Amino acid sequence: MPIERRFDADNRVLWTTMRDGLTIQDLRQHIDAVNELDGHQYCGIVDTRGAEPLFSTKEFPELARHGRRLFGHRGMAPRAVIVSETDLLSFGLARLFAALVAPWVTVRVFDNESAAVDYIEMAAAGREQSPTQ
């Protein structure tokens, strides 16, 4: 299975690990699964270091529109995407997708797992203190 999810209940963080060849359909199914789990309300860490993209950037706008239809009105929690520091293609793909979804979710891209975890822990702590969350 190219995408696995686990919920860290202690920290209220949804961890996603992507590996092997990933199609745009895999990513769409992941977005659907997050919706079914009500995972939009939890900060998320997406580790893509073991994944190989098998899709075109031309498919990203429709994927972003699909996500916006599901989450745009629900206040999606921030996401951190981890890419390999030597994989410039994955870094560029993650940054492009982050730009497309920027109107409805904050996505930051990291090549360092501990920096991504620090960012999400701060974001999750801030959401816990917010009276509107």
Q: Which residue has the higher pLDDT, 16 or 1?
A: 16
* Contacts of 43 by beta carbon, 8 Å cutoff, 6+ apart: 12, 13, 14, 77, 78, 79, 80, 120, 123, 124, 127
* Each residue's pLDDT tens digit, 2-26: 999 999 988 899 999 999 999 999 9
Residue carrying the six token digits 């960012």: 119
Domains and CATH numbers, the chain: 3-128 (3.30.750)
Instruction: Work out the average pLDDT over 118-125.
Output: 92
Residue 104 CA, chain-centre distance (Å), reads 12
* Strands lying side by side in the sheet with 13-22: 3-8, 13-22, 43-53, 79-82, 107-110
Residue 73 CA to its chain's centroid (Å): 17
By C-alpha distance, which of 1, 68, 4 is closest to 37?
A: 4
d(CA 104, CA 48): 21
Condensed to tens digits (0 to 9), the pLDDT of residues 22-61 reads 999 999 999 999 999 999 999 999 999 999 999 999 999 9
pLDDT computed for residue 75 by the predictor: 83
Q: What is the pLDDT of residue 1?
A: 65
Angle of helix 88-101 versus helix 60-71 axis, rounded to 10: 40
Give the pLDDT confidence score for residue 125 in this predicted structure: 86
Report the pLDDT value the prediction gives residue 129, as an integer from 0 to 100: 62
